[in-house]
Structure 1
Amino acid sequence: MKLKFLGTADSAGFPVHNCLCNVCVYHREKGLQNLSTSAYIKIDDSHILLDAGIENISNIFDGKKIKSIFLTHFHADHCLGLLRLRHSNDYIPCYHPKDENGFSDLFKHKHSIGYNEIKEFESIIVENIKFTSIPLKHSKNTFGYFIETKNVNIAYLTDCSGLPIESMKFLKNKKIDYAFIDACYDERKNTGNHLNYIQASDILDELKVKNGYLMHISHTTLEYILENNIILRYKYVKANDEFYLD
């Protein structure tokens, strides 16, 4: 069993179209890319998606079994891939927070996706893994997920500008082996719809996580870190990083 990241960037990803910052130039020259934050859990031959914002996600998982999708929210960079994945030959259940509008016409033309609205702190069990929704502060109704396997507990917390008191209380009462949290900004920006890496690191400290990681980075934040030789308390997770959960 493993958790793997398909992308760990913000909605722009990188390289950003025609951007000449050092980060985008490097990725362009090396033929590299980091797309919007999206991950999945692989159990034997089955897969559970954490968001589906990458447009060609249906191609990435073609020929593979998707047991379910846990959607954090309905911003495009977290659900764009559903526009094509909904035409799957398989029925795929999708769990998500309340959102009357959703994204595009996903609710109107569901096709093979079964949308299941879940409540705050509600738990769903898939493949013997327990997923509990964690309310987050964001510009849309958004959930993180507390994921409990037989041996490992994971806090998956993207996108957010902070955690409500109830969410912090819930997580403080849990043993957290791995925590992944939104840290889109650097310290030049301390308000908005996302956390900066100092704010995110403070939350990881307060939760006393065993292994903490930052994610949802922007190209401007990464360039700022590299140009100023900044040493972070927690590392950013990279696209294609894997974490074994057995």
Structure 2
Amino acid sequence: MKLKFLGSSNSAGIPVANCNCSVCSEYRINKKINFSTSAYLEYNEKYILLDAGNDLISNIFDMKDIKAIFLTHFHADHCMGLLRLRHSVKNIKCFHPKDELGFSDLFKHKHSIFYEVIEPFKSIYIDDIKITAIPLKHSKNTLGYFIETKEANIAYMTDCYEVPKNSLEFLKLKRVDYTFIDACYDETKSKGNHLNYLQASNILDEINTKNGFLMHISHSTLEYINNNRIKLKYRYVLDDEEFNL
């Protein structure tokens, strides 16, 4: 089993259009792109998607067995790929937090996507993988997911400015092998719709995760880290990094 990222940046991605900062310039020189944060689990030639923001998802997973999609929330950079994927000939289940508006006309024209609201702390089984919804605080109703497999337990918590007390208490009672958490901002910004890397690191400490990683980085945060030679306790996920579990 492996966890693979399609991207680990914020909604702007890296490089940002028309930005000449050192980070964006370096990405262009090296012909690299970091897409907005989304990931997937791969096991036995089957796939579970964690968000679907990449517009190329319908091509990336063409003729592959998508067992389910778990959306964290309905911001465009996390669900835009569904606009094309919904035309799949094969039906696909999509679990998501309660959101009457959703995104664009996804609910109106569902096509092959079957949407199902997953309530906080409810668990869904996909084969022998148990996935539990964890409430997070963001500008839209948002969930993280706790994924229990034979190989490892994973906490996936992107896009949040706070992890509520009940979610923290839930995680403290679990063995958490890997945690991936939003850390969009640098230390100069402590309020907004995302965590900064110090706030995120404190949460990783609190839940006593065995392996902690930051994600959803912005180009400005990465430039701040580079320019100030910041030594982080936990490192960021790198672009389309892959983790063997």
Q: TM-score range by the shorter chain?
A: over 0.9
Aligned to 2:71: 71
2:190 alignment partner in structure 1: 190
Once the two structures are superposed, the pairs formed by residues 52-67 of structure 1 within 5 Å of their partners are 52-67=52-67
Paired with 2:134 and 2:219, the residues of 1 have a C-alpha distance of 27
Aligned partners of 2:34 and 2:240 also within 8 Å: no
Partner of 1:214: 214
Task: Find out whether 1:11 has 2:11 as its counterpart.
Answer: yes
Shift of 1:9: 0.2
One-letter code of the match for 1:73?
H
1:22 paired with 2:22, answer yes
CA deviations over 1:176-195 (Å, ceiling 9, x no partner): 00000000000110000000
Instruction: Report what 2:106 is aligned to.
Output: 106
Amino acid at match of 2:18: N
What's the CA shift for 1:198? 0.2
Instruction: Work out whether residues 8 and 37 of structure 2, in 8 Å CA contact, stay in contact via their aligned partners in 1.
Output: yes
Amino acid at match of 2:143: F
1:18-50 Cα distance to aligned partner (Å, 9 max, x none): 000011011112110001100000011111000
- Please identify runs of 4+ aligned residues in structure 1 that moved more than 6 A: none
User: Could you tell me the TM-score, scaled by structure 1's length?
Assistant: 0.98
Q: Tell me if structure 1 keeps the 8 A contact 2:50–2:71.
A: yes
| SS of residue in 2 equivalent to 1:39 | strand
In the other structure, the counterpart of 1:173 is 173
Aligned position for 1:95:
95
Query: For the aligned residues, what is the CA RMSD?
Result: 0.6
Normalised to the residue count of structure 2, the TM-score between the two structures is: 0.99
Distance 2:204 2:63 in 1: 37
Secondary structure of the equivalent of 2:119? Answer: coil
Counterpart AA for 1:62: D
C-alpha deviation, 1:244, in angstroms: 1.6
For residue 58 of structure 2, what is the amino acid of its counterpart?
S
Cα deviation code 1:94-146 (max 9, x no counterpart): 00000000000000000010000010100001021100000001000000000
Distance of 2:81 and 2:87 partners within structure 1: 11
Cα distance between partner residues in 2 of 1:127 and 1:41: 13
| Cα distance in 2 for residues equivalent to 1:178 and 1:45 | 22
Matching residue's letter, 1:215:
M
Residues 57 and 85, structure 2, Cα contact 8 Å, conserved in 1:
yes
